[in-house]
């Protein structure tokens, strides 16, 4: 697997310097065959960064769907993605889950603990994101949202006792370099590479993630 050192590798974002959100969204569609959809964005209001949705108490400022029915706008076409971001170049990049991949979401502290354990186990990882609200999302094959609760039970845990969330159909993750509130941008903890184009099954990662979440409680 790709070597990951907590707190260092995570700052690597796979884009050329100066590359725009538009160009990055197009690359995700073109090179990874991921569906992409534009979300909200940050606006300066009275010198304060606020979400374009207009809610001053927005829970995910600048990084959530911009309208109902957002999933129908998601596209895997590079040309369609280009047109969408040409309309709103500041829009965040959202990747719908339950299509090309699902995502296993855990607290950042548990995620780094799990990454170290996975490295010792020589597990093959897919891409992993790290968000400013201190979550990590591990990309896995679709179907994780169905498998994970039973897999956790088999390991002796109650799914409700662990902060391990499987994002599948109807969910999404914000992709780098989307800016998220005032705390910074979404980053890669394990960046997309040709070597991790083939994603692991959720069952391969549940054990180290559940162990890390149990330790992190």
Does any domain span residue 3? no
Does any domain span residue 1? no
Q: How many domains does the chain have?
A: 1
- The count of other CB atoms within 10 Å of the CB of residue 150 is 12
pLDDT value of position 44: 86
Cis peptide before 177 (omega within 30 of 0): yes
Give the range of the structural domain holding residue 15, as residue numbers without chain letter: 9-216
Does any domain span residue 29? yes
pLDDT value of position 15: 47
Whether residue 36 has pLDDT greater than 80: yes
- pLDDT tens-place string over residues 109-124: 999 999 999 999 999 8
Over the chain, what is the mean pLDDT? 89
Does any domain span residue 153? yes
Does any domain span residue 94? yes
Does any domain span residue 2? no
Does any domain span residue 49? yes
Contact 36, 78 (CB under 8 A): no
pLDDT value of position 181: 84
DSSP letters, 4-69, are --TTTGGG--SS-TT--HHHHHHHHHHHS---BEEB--EEEETTEEEETT--TT-SSTTSSBSSTT
Whether residue 45 has pLDDT greater than 90: no
CA 37 to chain centre: 13
- pLDDT tens-place string over residues 138-167: 999 999 988 999 999 999 999 999 999 999
Task: Tell me the whole-structure pTM to 2 decimals.
Answer: 0.89
Does any domain span residue 33? yes
Lowest mean per-residue pLDDT among 33-37, 45-49, 95-99: 45-49
Higher-confidence residue of 17 and 171: namely 171
């Amino acid at each position: 697997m790709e070597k990951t050192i907590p707190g260092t590798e995570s700052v690597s974002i796979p884009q050329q310097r100066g590359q725009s959100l538009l160009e990055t969204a197009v690359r995700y569609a073109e090179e990874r065959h991921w569906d992409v959809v534009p979300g909200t964005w940050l606006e300066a209001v009275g010198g304060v960064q606020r979400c374009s949705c207009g809610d001053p108490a927005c829970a995910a400022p600048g990084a959530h769907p911009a309208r109902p029915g957002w999933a129908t706008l998601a596209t895997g076409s590079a040309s369609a993605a280009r047109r969408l971001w040409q309309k709103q170049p500041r829009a965040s990049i959202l990747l719908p889950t339950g299509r090309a991949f699902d995502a296993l979401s855990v607290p950042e502290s548990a995620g780094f603990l799990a990454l170290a354990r996975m490295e010792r186990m020589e597990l093959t990882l897919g891409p992993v994101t790290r968000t400013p609200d201190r979550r990590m999302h591990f990309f896995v094959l679709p179907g994780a949202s169905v498998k994970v609760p039973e897999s956790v039970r088999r390991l002796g845990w109650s799914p409700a006792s662990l902060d391990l969330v499987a994002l599948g159909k109807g969910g999404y993750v914000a992709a780098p370099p989307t800016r998220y509130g005032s705390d910074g941008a979404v980053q890669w903890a394990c960046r997309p590479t040709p070597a991790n184009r083939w994603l692991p099954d959720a069952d391969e990662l549940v054990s180290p993630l559940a162990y890390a979440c149990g330790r992190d409680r």
